[in-house]
Structure formats: structure tokens, C-alpha cells
Chain A
Amino acid sequence: MLFAFYVQFHGDYSPGGGFQAGVIMAVGIIIYGIVFDMEHAKKVLPPWFVHKMLAFGVLLYTFTGVISFFRGQNFLDYSALSRHSPTHGQHYGILIIELGVGITVSGVMIAIFYAFASRTSEINDAEW
């Protein structure tokens, strides 16, 4: 989990970013769910919260783009985000959208895992 956050916010400087961080985050929850129980994992991160995460990430991304409109720039032009210098704006912009991507990716992966793992198996033990 800590590693996921490191990857998320350090993505500017070293390999990493929202996609990787989201996946690693999801893997953390998934392994927790496997080692302990689905019920425990669902207590840590309830499904309704995961579903909110899905949508929130995409909204955060789009919203960042829309802010540039109000500052008189093109859609997703992060130079508008900072009053001092365009490069600072680019920094903030990339950080925020990577966060949006990370939230969506981890939300989707965890939701998929919950969906698959909540199904009861129809297979009988003899077949294994």
C-alpha cells in the first residue's frame, strides 16, 4: 500500500504513475482478500465505496480539463492551473490526473475482483 502511494506521487521522477499505482493498490486489497477472507476485505473497503471510486477518478480527470476552460485555455491544458508559471501548472495537472487515473484503475480492479470472488463456485471437488 505504501509502495503504491510512493509510485503514485513519485511518478514524475522515476518509473511509475497512476496506472501502476492503481494496479499495485488493487493487488494489495486482492491479496488481503485471498489470505484472509472476502468478508474481511469487504470490511476494509466496502463495495459501495469501490463503486464510488470508479466514477470519482474519471470525474477528477475531466474536471481538471474543464478548469482550464474557465482560465481561458484549451481543454486539458494544465498551464492554466498555476498563476505563476506554466511549468508549475503542468506539474499540478499531471499530479492530479495521475491521481484520477490511479483511483479509477484501482477501483475497477478491486470491483472486478469482488465480482468474481463473490460468485459461488458451481464446480464439484471431484473435478479438481
Chain B
Amino acid sequence: MINWEFIIGHLNYWFFIVLMMTGLYIVIAKGNLVKKVVGLNIFQTSVFMFYISIGKVIGGTAPIFPVDMKIDNNIVYSNPLPHVLILTAIVVGVATTSLALALIVRIREEYGTIEEDEIFIIEHELDSSNKTPNTYKENGHF
């Protein structure tokens, strides 16, 4: 009664969903900002894998022709389009991750902590200690 072909054909999607949910859980549940970035990275990788697995054709090979350009029409190539998208996305992902990490470093330097709840407390106290914008001006913030 169980459709094994269906289950095996969809197993890859389910693996990526598990990976993605792991990332999502880390992003939501952890207070540490560095861990949040790690969670986002895991999430990102699962999306990459999902794309690449869509592009795969069973029995296909990597989308590169022979160097002498003698093309055999019987060879099946996997879909090159997801490869292109993900190739650029990986490098962009590193660049944006480093931007996030740079922000975290600055936050640490300003606030002395990278825990989310402590930052909230400090922000709150800062707000309540300077209620009027004039005091900001006097301290040279504008």
C-alpha cells in the first residue's frame, strides 16, 4: 500500500526541511547573536542543497562538454541554471555573513555583550536616562 517510489523520490526534500528547521530553531531560540548567524548559515545551506537537488537528473552528468566540443547527444546533462544561481549565492552569502559578524563585533564594542536580552536592557536604560533629544545634542550625538 505504501508508495515507496514516492517516498524515496521525496526523501531529499524532507532532509532539507529538517536541516532548514534546525537553522530556524537556532535563529529563534538562541539569544547569542553569533549563534543566530550560524543558524542563518545552516538555513542558507539547506536552501542551496534544495536548489541543486532540483537541478539533478538521474543518469545525468555534470554540465561540462568535452574540451574538443564533440558533443554526444545521448549524454544527459544536469540542469546548469541552479548551479549558476547557487554558485554566486554562496560567495554573496559569505560576504553578507561577514557584514553581520562585523556588526556583531561593533555591538560587542559598544555594549560589552552579544546577548540579545542584555542589549535590550541596556537600550531601555539608555532611553529612560535621556528622554529629551536636547540631552543627546549636548552629548554630541547629532
Binding site for B on A (CB under 8 A): 13-15, 17, 19, 22-23, 105, 108-109, 112, 115-116, 119, 122
Contacts and interface: CB of A to CB of B under 8 A. Distances in A.
B68 to A, nearest CB: 11
Contacts of A115: 102
Contact of B102 (A17, A109, A116): A116
B98 interface: yes
B95 interface: yes
17 contacts: A15-B62, A15-B64, A17-B87, A19-B90, A19-B91, A22-B91, A23-B94, A105-B91, A108-B95, A112-B98, A112-B102, A116-B98, A116-B101, A116-B102, A119-B105, A122-B108, A122-B109
Nearest to A112: B98
Contacts of B102: 112, 115-116
B88 A19 contact: yes
Interface in B64-105: 64, 67, 87-88, 90-91, 94-95, 98, 101-102, 105
Contacts of B95: 108-109, 112
B91 A116 contact: no
Nearest to B109: A122
Nearest to B66: A13
B102 to A, nearest CB: 7
A15 B108 CA distance: 40
Contacts of B67: 13
Contacts of A14: 64
Contacts of B94: 23, 109
Given A22-B91, A115-B102, A122-B108, 6 more contacts: A15-B62, A108-B95, A109-B95, A116-B105, A119-B105, A122-B109
Nearest to A113: B98
A13 to B, nearest CB: 6
Contacts of A108: 95
B48 to A, nearest CB: 14
Q: Which of B67, B91, B95, B105 has the most CB of A within 10 A?
A: B91
Contact of A23 (B91, B108, B109): B91
Nearest to B97: A112
B90 to A, nearest CB: 8
Contacts of A13: 67
A4 B7 CA distance: 43
